[in-house]
Structure 1
């Protein structure tokens, strides 16, 4: 036998024997007269006729771009948010975990798009403006309240209406100042 057998050539290139048989029948291998495989010539022909995207890379020769830490942490965050196992810090992310995170994100995106189409989502800037407007109207109502009720309360308690209004206004303003320190958290 001048060249290599199918099994030996399969081991040489790191493919299955079935893949070598397919390549042989497709004419991507160079054969000697006895039917054995010319390894050097076959390697060159396979390289020339095979789509580079479909070629296997040896782990030692592969020059893969490093995945940014932000992308890895986003994968972990997405998996944790959905109750799935996230990669251990420093242990890296497996392809399956990244693919799962991608599918989860796509499902979330589709759900949001559907909710938007059904008008179930709230426009954040509009919601903030409405809350601000409501809070301002509430504050304005409280600021004018002492002037409306002071005379009635003073008559009922038989005290000076002007003094009653002054005390009520001071108390209402103090309470509104406390409420103004509360900041709604819109995430």
Structure 2
């Protein structure tokens, strides 16, 4: 099919088809003609639906010339789109389309807005503050336990009628062993 015939079938100008082929958005056959099935699929995959004719206001004219070719998208960005879609239970296999990327972007914006709202309501805690608070609490608890045998040994020794110094040594060894066991507990604040 010729470029002009394909443009008529799409309802666009032949210049739009030429620009799309030059930008790599639709493939041309070696003889310069267009395979409508391939071109339609490529057109739908690479066209921003919000810029389709009749759905949005045209963008203001720019003094910049359009890019000659489409820039490649970093694999990290494509992976991020796939990951976001998978988290939401949406299909994300094969090549990523503009609609999928736009959906992932809107999902991410919604998550960010929700997090900002939770922070403003005081429902979120600063991670570094939480770590510092847990560390300070654990340190106070440890210090309290380390000092406890010296305070309690005399009282326990009097009740049991045993040597206060020996009682303190036994209590201290048991408390230290217990604190060593507690130190192995890891707190993950992610």
Q: Which residue, out of 34, 56, 72, partners 2:20?
A: 56
| Aligned residue number for residue 174 of structure 1 | 177
| Aligned residue number for residue 69 of structure 1 | 75
Q: Which residue, out of 134, 139, 148, partners 1:145?
A: 148
Q: Which structure has more RCO (C-alpha within 8 Å, separation ≥ 6)? A: 2
Instruction: Measure how far apart 1:167 and its partner are.
Output: 0.8
Task: Give the gaps of 5 or more residues in structure 1.
Answer: 1-7, 21-42
Distance 1:12 1:85 in 2: 33
Could you list the per-position Cα deviations for residues 120-169 of structure 1 after superposition, in whole angstroms to 9, with x for gaps in the alignment? 22111111111111111111111111111111222222221111110111
Instruction: Measure how far apart 1:96 and its partner are.
Output: 2.5
CA RMSD of aligned residues (A): 2.8
Could you list the per-position Cα deviations for residues 29-59 of structure 1 after superposition, in whole angstroms to 9, with x for gaps in the alignment? xxxxxxxxxxxxxx6xx57xxxx9xx53452
> Normalization by structure 2: what TM-score?
0.66
Instruction: Measure how far apart 1:175 and its partner are.
Output: 1.3
Instruction: Measure how far apart 1:10 and its partner are.
Output: 4.6
Q: Kindly report which structure 2 residues correspond to 1:26-65, keeping only aligned pairs within 5 A, or say none.
A: 46=15, 55-57=19-21, 58-60=25-27, 63-65=69-71
Instruction: Measure how far apart 1:12 and its partner are.
Output: 4.3
The answer to whether the 8 A contact 1:10-1:16 is kept is no
3-state SS in 1 of match to 2:20: coil
What count of residue pairs does the alignment treat as equivalent?
Answer: 147
Q: Kindly report which structure 2 residues correspond to 1:19-168, keeping only aligned pairs within 5 A, or say none.
A: 19=12, 46=15, 55-57=19-21, 58-60=25-27, 63-82=69-88, 84-88=89-93, 91-168=94-171
Could you list the per-position Cα deviations for residues 92-122 of structure 1 after superposition, in whole angstroms to 9, with x for gaps in the alignment? 3233322211111000111111122222221
| Aligned residue number for residue 13 of structure 1 | 7
> Normalization by structure 1: what TM-score?
0.67
Task: Give the gaps of 5 or more residues in structure 2.
Answer: 29-67
The answer to whether the 8 A contact 2:20-2:26 is kept is no
3-state SS in 1 of match to 2:92: coil
Distance 1:117 1:15 in 2: 53
Deviating above 6 A after TM superposition, structure 1's stretches of 4 or more consecutive aligned residues are: none
